[in-house]
């Protein structure tokens, strides 16, 4: 039994039947008749070229979940991303102008809702087939991907306020399944259960002062 340069025992004396390395003393393979300008065959490409990558952010796969965006490889039909390979994110913050407009409209709880003196921006990666917007609730088993529980907490946000749905062309749509206080996209009210396309730069308003801005970048 021959021993290959990598130390494997091989029954073949030309190429190791364990790792494929050429055995010492084996004749070199014949030159290809193709011209030097011909493209290299797929077999000559590095092994990494065929490795599976995340359909959301193109990160090489290292397990069941993507290390960057959390995509679950065991899910259904993979969601494609735009040809640019850009990553999508939702950035949440407080909008004082929107708050003033909502309070001016009045309401039974308007006087009890205060604008937060400090509300840092938070970024949430858009990954998977759907991204829920809302507030966490143990009693209702609600665990939205864009969790607006706070602090500070916008009391006008429903536990399941809206849902972002990934499309197979890499775009996203937003659906309001019936929130208590409604949803706006770029200032326009969203009808219940009517999908509305959203893109980079669009602003989604929910609750009493929360704005969610869709961006392309690195979450």
Rounded to an integer, what distance in angstroms lies between the CA atom of residue 92 and that of residue 181? 18
Is position 93 within any domain?
Answer: yes
pLDDT one-digit tens code per residue, 21-60: 666 765 555 544 444 444 443 333 333 445 787 766 567 7
Is position 194 within any domain?
Answer: yes
Is position 101 within any domain?
Answer: yes
Percent of the chain with pLDDT over 90: 49
Is position 140 within any domain?
Answer: yes
Cα angle, residue 20 at apex, residues 11 and 6 outer, rounded to 5°: 85
Q: For the whole model, what pTM was predicted?
A: 0.61
Annotate 42-73 with three-state secondary structure.
HHHCCHHHHCCECCCCCCECCCCECCCCCCEC
pLDDT of residue 68: 55
* Torsion-angle region of 195 (φ positive above 0: left; ψ -120 to 50: alpha; else: beta): beta
Cis before 152? omega within 30: yes
pLDDT of residue 65: 67
Q: CATH number of the domain that 188 lies in? A: 2.60.200.20
Is position 34 within any domain?
Answer: no
Q: Which domain holds residue 189?
A: 88-216
Contact present, 191 and 215 (Cβ < 8 Å): no
The total number of structural domains in the chain stands at 1
Is position 27 within any domain?
Answer: no
């Amino acid at each position: 039994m021959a021993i290959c340069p990598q130390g494997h025992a091989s029954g073949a004396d030309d190429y190791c039947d364990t790792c494929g390395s050429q055995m010492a003393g084996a004749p070199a393979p014949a030159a290809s008749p193709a011209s030097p300008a011909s493209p290299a065959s797929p077999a000559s490409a590095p092994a990494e070229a065929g490795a599976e990558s995340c359909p959301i952010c193109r990160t090489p796969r290292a397990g069941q979940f993507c290390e960057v965006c959390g995509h679950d490889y065991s899910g259904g039909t993979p969601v494609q991303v735009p040809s640019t390979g850009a990553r999508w994110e939702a950035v949440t913050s407080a909008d004082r102008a929107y708050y003033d407009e909502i309070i001016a409209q009045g309401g039974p709880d308007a006087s009890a809702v205060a604008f937060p003196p400090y509300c840092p921006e938070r970024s949430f990666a858009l990954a998977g087939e759907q991204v829920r917007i809302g507030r966490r609730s143990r009693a209702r088993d609600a665990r939205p991907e864009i969790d607006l529980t706070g602090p500070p907490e916008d009391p006008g946000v429903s536990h399941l306020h809206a849902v972002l749905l990934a499309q197979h062309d890499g775009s996203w749509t937003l659906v309001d399944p019936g929130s208590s206080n409604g949803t706006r996209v770029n200032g326009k009210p969203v009808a219940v259960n009517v999908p509305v396309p959203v893109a980079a730069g669009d602003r989604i308003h929910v609750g009493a002062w929360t704005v969610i801005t869709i961006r392309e970048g690195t979450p």
